[in-house]
A and B are shown apart, each in its own frame.
Chain A
Amino acid sequence: MARRRATDFYAPAYVALVIASVGLIALPVRMAGYRERGVLRRFHAAGLSLPVVIGSQVVVAASLVIAGSIGIAAVARLFYGAMLPEAWPQVLMAFVLGLACFCAIGVALGAVLPTARAAQGAGLILFFVMMMTGGAGPPATSSATSCAG
């Protein structure tokens, strides 16, 4: 197997970062904001079902994530020479799985948190903790001794 460079590992991690940022920040803030402003109540009064409301939010989130991920992969390849996926079908399956995971978490946050500000606070805390500990942050070896664990 060819020797992998750091950028090869970072490219999929940054794609996951795009998924997490939309799922943990954008999605819950929008849903909690809708509730705060009475938009969800009007949707309910208009006869929209819960799957339709959640599904529409997930479709919007998925569109953002797809655009961002294509951008990440293109920049990583063109400017940093990172490798493109070796097994496209499995990568697409993993992408959909990750998208479903963070959309589910985002909808859950939006469901339980009362205001957009609360959702933003919780989402940002989760996002930064996950980013710094989950393989998309700086390598532990480049961190200060107190942060390297």
Chain B
Amino acid sequence: MDWLKIAAAVFLVAMFFMILPSAKRMVKESPKGSASDWMGFIIPIVAIVLFVILLIALV
């Protein structure tokens, strides 16, 4: 099982370096969000957190 862990780690590191250029580009090119933009993101995320807590209570 240990070699499977090592293979998974190698694959995740490869994934990290595959995503890295896109991440750099996104950080550079993404527009800056205003306070109301971020609120528009935070509200559904809070709803999801509450929903997941509800699901945990269900199982």
Same complex origin of A and B: no
Spell out B's residues near A (CB within 8 Å): none
